[in-house]
Amino acid sequence: MLKNFTFTKMEKKIQIRRKGFMGRIIPIVLIAVLFSVTFQSCQKDESILNAAPGGQLKSASISTVSQSSSISTVLITNLISKINGYVTKGELQSGIANALVSKLKNVIKSVDKGNEKPAMNQLQAVINQVDGLVGSDTIDTTIGNGIIFDIRALAGENPTYTDPRDGKVYKTIKIGDQIWMAENLAYLPSVNSLILSGTKPYYYVNGYWGTNTADAKATDNYKTYGVLYNWPAAKTASPEGWHLPSDAEWTQLANYLIDNGYGVYKDIYIAKALAATTSWWGSRINATIGYDLSSNNSSGFTALPGGGLLGHALIRPGQAGFWWSATESTASTAWSRTLRYVKATLIRSTQDEYKDKWMGFSVRCIRN
């Protein structure tokens, strides 16, 4: 009995030791397995971020997506409304307006039938007619040149626009059914250092602290990035025939790019399609603006990182760009859009940041 008892006791000790050993080894094995799975998952995530162009995912280089040059019937309809508006205001004879409108409606019919080449010829005929009317002083020069500009723009020619207030020449770009300036607005009637207001218009040049407009215009930041405006100034800064885009118009731009394949990796990653190929800081994160700048700007929008004035602090050029919309959020705030060098999306301002009307942001004008 003693032997049996001793054996049983020893057996229990061995079993206890085995359990202790297994109790220690099982957690170690589980930790190793979990680490292996996590490591493989991390490798997978890293491979997605750093996938080479041409893989199964959408490449960061989307040069195959070209800007559509097709005629926009929406913009033709807008032009017809403008022409009728000139008649209403007594600025254009109804007979001339009716003739132009009739020809433009024929262009719409040609486009709807898929006959784009004849439509282009019809548009050229309208341009020739308006040009002749301007030359004979039958139509106001500003109105005539505006009609010609709109026709060239809606046909996808991306004509330049000269601001009559200061002679500044701007590139333009047709994106979907919108005509945008392809540069930040640089209209600078006055310049302020750090006077802040959400009710009175103020104009700033990033990095310039004086009040002399000539000196401000001589700076590299002005020449490259244009002017920073508080919201009251932004609302009235656009030249005639242009306006500060609404929140809805910014959304329309984003949706067009998303719906037409400009996104990188994901449809909503359209920041690279909007951003310029120069001036942005570099990034190692694929699909972001700063990753391979040469693959940016497939839309032709050419967004530059002009920085911004946020209180008494400046966001330096290179890392971000901020642009106002014309749409108020509250009595003291308005919606804006932001691009950052380490981000892949066009960011709409949140409820509590980048919206205060006294902040200094860039302006991108859109055609009326």
Q: Are residues 185 and 123 in the same domain?
A: no
Helix or strand or coil: residue 101? helix
Q: Are residues 187 and 304 in the same domain?
A: yes
Over the stretch 24-41, which tens digit does the pLDDT of each residue have?
433 433 333 333 333 333
Domain annotation covers residue 42: no
Q: Are residues 141 and 226 in the same domain?
A: no
Q: Are residues 184 and 89 in the same domain?
A: no
Q: What is the pTM of this model?
A: 0.79
Average pLDDT over residues 10-14: 35
Over the stretch 120-141, which tens digit does the pLDDT of each residue have?
999 999 999 999 999 888 999 9
| DSSP character at residue 185 | -
Average pLDDT over residues 91-97: 95
Q: Are residues 149 and 191 in the same domain?
A: no
Average pLDDT over the chain reads 83
Over the stretch 243-272, which tens digit does the pLDDT of each residue have?
999 999 999 999 999 999 999 989 999 999
Q: Are residues 149 and 213 in the same domain?
A: no
- b vs e for 326-354, b when ≥16 Cβ sit within 10 Å of the residue's Cβ? beebeeebbbbbbbbbbbbbbbbbeeeeb
Over the stretch 139-159, which tens digit does the pLDDT of each residue have?
999 999 999 999 999 999 999
Q: Are residues 151 and 205 in the same domain?
A: no
| DSSP character at residue 111 | H
Task: Give the phi and the psi of residue 145 in degrees, each rounded to 5.
Answer: -65, -35
Q: How confident is the model at residue 351 (pLDDT cuts 50, 70, 90)?
A: low
Q: Are residues 303 and 362 in the same domain?
A: yes
Q: Are residues 286 and 153 in the same domain?
A: no
Rg of the chain over CA atoms, in angstroms? 30
Q: Are residues 248 and 353 in the same domain?
A: yes
Q: Are residues 154 and 216 in the same domain?
A: no
> Which range of residues forms the domain containing residue 219?
180-367
State the virtual CA torsion across 143, 145, 150, 151 in degrees, nearest 10.
120
Q: Are residues 191 and 311 in the same domain?
A: yes
Domain annotation covers residue 237: yes
Domain annotation covers residue 51: no
Average pLDDT over residues 307-326: 89
Q: How far apart are the first and last CA of the chain?
A: 106
Find, among 306, 302, 325, the residue nearest to 314 by Cα. 306
State which of 124, 158, 192 marks the end of a domain: 158
pLDDT at position 318: 94
Structural domain count of the chain: 2
Query: Would you say how long the chain is, in residues?
Result: 368
pLDDT > 70 in the chain, percent: 80
Average pLDDT over residues 69-89: 93
DSSP letters, 116-175, are HHHHHHHHHHHHHHHHHHHHTTSS-HHHHHHHHHHHHHHTT----EE-TTT--EE-EEEE
Task: Give the phi and the psi of residue 215 in degrees, each rounded to 5.
Answer: -65, -40
Domain annotation covers residue 172: no
State which of 102, 128, 158 marks the end of a domain: 158
Domain annotation covers residue 270: yes
